[in-house]
Amino acid sequence: MAAEDLPSEFDVVILGTGLAESVVAAACSRVGQRVLHVDRRSYYAANWASFTFNALLTWIQEIQAESLSEEVQDRSSLVEEGEELIYLSGSDSASISNLQVFCYVSEEAEEEEEPANTTEEEEAGAAGEGAAKEPSETESAGSKEEEAGEAAEGDEQAAQEQGEEPKADQPQPSAPPSQSEPTRKKISYTQLVKEGRRFNIDLVSKLMYSRGSLVDLLIKSNVSRYAEFKNVTRILTYRHGSVEQVPCSRADVFASRQLSVVEKRKLMRFLTSCVEETEEHQAYNGRPYLEFLREQQLGDNLQHFLLHSIAMVTEDTLTKVGLASTRHFLRCLGRYGNTPFLFPVYGLGEIPQCFCRMSAVFGGIYCLRHSVSCLIVDKDSNRCKAVIDSRGQRISCSHFVVEDGFVGADRKVATPTRLLSRAVLITDASVLPGDSEQQVSLVTVPPTDGRPAVNMVELSPSTMTCIPGTYLVHLTCQSVGSAYEDLSPVVTRMFCMAECQDEENRPAVLWCLYFNMADGSGVEPEGHDLPSNVYVCSGPDGALGHEHAIKQAESIFLKILPEEEFCPPAPNPEDIIYDGENTSPTSIGEEEEEEGLTAAGGEGEEKQQEQQEEETSLQPEE
């Protein structure tokens, strides 16, 4: 907590705590590099962060206030002969745009038992209280943009008239038979704020393929010890105005009630035939996957499932790509559950922090609210030899890794800026109520009327991302227009916004947020107008999985340390066991000891087995 000076020499300095940067930090610390990892923000994980409800309100406020970047300070006095400066950009506010907030629940506290006292999150406290206490003066205007604060009020550009008038009362559709409580509970805005700390709302929405590169890396590096996961339990699709379950595992196919016996047989045969590439497949390689599917005489149902929910591609995707994607899906099935996907408990924002923790455990130094203002470049070699931090300290380093947003536009290779459209909804019921209230679902919404395909992830409270009685719904697509333009049609079709006596029994949206985020998939680590030992990490991309960031991190690591292993397993602290009575250690003690931990003592193994009984333990392939 003390404001000490940082050491003045590191091997690798990293600015930005997004996923790729954090993986690079962990990988470098792990093999003994001295790492300084800083972020200008007050929170970890950059645009990969997850927030409590209150912290999200603060984040929204900050974006809307468009915090001006600090004045560029002249640092030329710190430059020595033969050196020149490259100034970095002070803020990355450009990565988020078109932010809009709508609230459809009463902002008045029904039972004012105690003042909206939010000691929870210091930063968030202010926003939370402001919002909660602000009376909803006018029902329409007051309930959008309610996220409070002077900033929001002054900022009219975001406000957009909605058809419905948000009202206090909640719709009370009849509950599914299995629900224990006969009616849904009303949840007020005050309650959302009061229990705000129990939300973990991600800025990005992704899932982890159970055999994807992120899961493999978590297992291989032992960073997995810092997190737990939930299976995505269902894959759903939106079709003909309703939500249907996509049968994807063998068990699903047999249990499916929507499929005829003939369809079941066809689907099984098709999926089996996909696993190995055949000559027939090759013949279609250059033609659209849809054509290939049509040729298989599968029928509309199956074709829809296979194209949109299993391959998750569009109608013009080539067969080669469609089949590869289908195979990946099938390979990931059944490793941990009935779908190919996992989701981290407490949200995706945990993942970069897990890598940061690993880096810290191996000596990485962490500072938030701390930035790098410029680089010192050696003119002769065109290498970055030091950085100057936001306090004006000169810190020498051999490599510098930086989040895309901090690199000035003039230094970057001009790439067309693509955007992602995002929506985050807090709803009061599942889009497809089932036997369990704790389903985690991926919903694929095929493209319609020139609007792109939308991936929707519905999280139940079991993921520790929302409070009981609510669901957290994330929507993502490649943007065509603003996030609101792209996604609100889907939201309007699938949810009801206010007090609607909804005959279709759709879930009600309590609160929602739309925004656009820059799509990181176009940014390359190298090739910019930057010194050769400076590497750029892109922000989140629009794909469902994490392959982009993980591949990028690995390639940056291999450029920095071509001879070293990428994220070898860290020793397991549980292997260092000292029994209460028996003072002799069972194994290892030396810090250098890294390998050979497989020879853990008997107690360690016992422990493993016990764990197995409680939890589905997972196994890597050997």
Binding to another protein (CB under 8 A) within 267-286 occurs at 268, 271-272, 275
Nearer CB in complex with another protein: 365/543: 365
State the minimum distance, in angstroms, from the CB of residue 420 to another protein. Answer: 24
Concatenating the DSSP letter of every residue in 152-166 gives HHH--TT----SS--
Which of 423, 502, 437 lies closest to 469, judged by CA? 437
Nearer to another protein, 322 or 525 (CB): 322
* Partners of residue 424 on adjacent β-strands: 474, 513
Nearer to another protein, 152 or 215 (CB): 215
- 610 membership: H or E segment, kind and range: helix 602-614
Q: Determine which residue in the list 71, 410, 503, 614 makes contact with another protein, applying CB under 8 A.
A: 614
- As a whole number of angstroms, the distance between CA 81 and CA 548 comes to 40
128-157 residues near another protein, rule: CB under 8 A: none
Residue from 209, 229, 495, 535 in contact with another protein (CB under 8 A): 229
Token duo for residue 248: 């994807």
Q: Binding another protein by CB under 8 A: which of 133, 264, 281, 335? A: 335
Shortest Å distance, C-beta 353 to another protein: 4
Question: Rule CB under 8 A: is residue 354 a binding residue for another protein?
Answer: yes
619 binds another protein (CB under 8 A): yes
Among 63, 356, 423, 442, binds another protein (CB under 8 A): 356
Judged by beta carbon, residue 212 or residue 531, the one nearer another protein is: 212
Element (H, E) at 442: strand 441-445
Q: Rounded to an integer, what distance in angstroms lies between the CA atom of residue 547 and that of residue 525? A: 15
> 146 vs 350, which CB is nearer to another protein?
350
Q: Quick one: which of 133, 225, 383, 559 contacts another protein (CB under 8 A)?
A: 225
CA trace torsion 262, 266, 269, 270 (10° rounding) = -170
Site for another protein in 14-43 (CB under 8 A): none
From 130, 336, 313, 307, select the one nearest 224 (Cα to Cα). Answer: 336
Work out how close the CB of 610 gets to another protein at its nearest, in angstroms, rounded to a whole number.
Answer: 3
Minimum Å gap between C-beta 330 and another protein is: 6
Q: Which residue from 303, 346, 453, 524 is in contact with another protein, where contact means CB under 8 A?
A: 346
Q: Which of 85, 367, 453, 543 binds another protein (CB under 8 A)?
A: 367
Residue 44 as a binder of another protein (CB under 8 A): the answer is yes
Q: Which of residues 293-312 bind another protein (CB under 8 A)?
A: none
Binding characters for another protein, 83-122, by CB under 8 A (x = yes) = ------------------------------------xxxx
Angle at 237 between CA 231 and CA 238, to 5 degrees: 140
Q: How far is the CB of 446 from another protein (least distance, A)?
A: 23
Minimum separation from the CB atom of position 181 to another protein (A): 19
- Looking at 141, 368, 500, 543, which residue binds another protein (CB under 8 A)? 368
Segment 153 to 182, residues that bind another protein, using CB under 8 A = none
Quick one: 76 or 608, whose CB is closer to another protein?
Answer: 608
183 binds another protein, rule: CB under 8 A: no
Which residues lie below 8 Å from residue 177, measured CB to CB, with a gap of 6+?
none
Helix (H) or strand (E) holding 421: strand 419-427
The correct pick among 585, 596, 599, 602 for binding another protein (CB under 8 A) is: 585
Binding residues for another protein, total number by CB under 8 A:
87
Which residue, chain included where needed, has tokens 């972020």?
39
From 330-338, 393-401, 480-488, 532-540, give the range in contact with another protein by CB under 8 A: 330-338
Residue indicated by tokens 């949109």: 308
Q: Are 340 and 53 in contact (CB under 8 A)?
A: no
Q: Determine, following the binding rule CB under 8 A, whether residue 7 of this chain makes contact with another protein.
A: no
Give the residue, chosen from 160, 378, 594, 601, that forms a contact with another protein under the rule CB under 8 A.
594
What distance in Å separates the CA atoms of residue 485 and residue 357, rounded to the nearest whole number?
Answer: 39
Q: Pairing state of beta strands 394-396 and 383-389?
A: antiparallel
Contacts of another protein in 444-503 (CB under 8 A) = 462
The answer to the question of residue 574 lying near another protein (CB under 8 A) is: yes
53 is an interface residue for another protein by CB under 8 A:
no
Q: Is 507 in the site for another protein (CB under 8 A)?
A: no
Which range touches another protein (CB under 8 A), out of 60-68, 215-223, 299-307, 410-418? 215-223
CA distances from 53 to 250, 276, 465, 540 (A): 39, 47, 10, 21
* Residue 13 C-beta: closest distance to another protein, Å: 14
**In the sheet that 471-478 helps form, which strands lie side by side, from edge to edge?**
96-103, 509-518, 419-427, 471-478, 454-459, 441-445, 234-239, 242-245
192 lines the binding site for another protein (CB under 8 A): no
Pair 436, 228: CB distance under 8 Å: no
The residue written with tokens 């595992």 in the block is 249
> Which range touches another protein (CB under 8 A), out of 72-80, 377-385, 441-449, 583-591?
583-591
Asked if residue 135 lies in contact with residue 107, where contact means CB atoms within 8 angstroms, the answer is: yes
Distance separating alpha carbons of residues 544 and 290, to the nearest angstrom: 21
3-class SS at 245? Answer: strand
How many CB atoms are closer than 10 A to CB 96? Answer: 23
**Could you tell me which stretch among 137-145, 146-154, 407-415, 568-576 binds another protein (CB under 8 A)?**
568-576
Among 250, 281, 320, 412, contact with another protein (rule: CB under 8 A): 250
Identify which of 560, 564, 565 has the alpha carbon closest to the alpha carbon of residue 526. 560
Residue 387 CA to residue 40 CA, distance in Å, equals: 15
Residue closer to another protein, measured from CB, 171 or 571: 571
Among positions 56-75, residues that touch another protein (CB under 8 A) are none
Q: Which of 55, 306, 27, 67 is nearest to 199 (CA)?
A: 55
| Measured distance CA(281)–CA(293) in Å, rounded | 11
Euclidean distance between CA atoms 498 and 146, whole angstroms: 16
Token pair of 122 as six digits: 């210091």
The single residue among 102, 362, 400, 535 that binds another protein, judged by CB under 8 A, is: 362
Asked if 11 interacts with another protein (CB under 8 A), we say no
Between strands 365-367 and 234-239, the pairing is unpaired
> Which residue, 299 or 334, is less far from another protein as judged by CB?
334
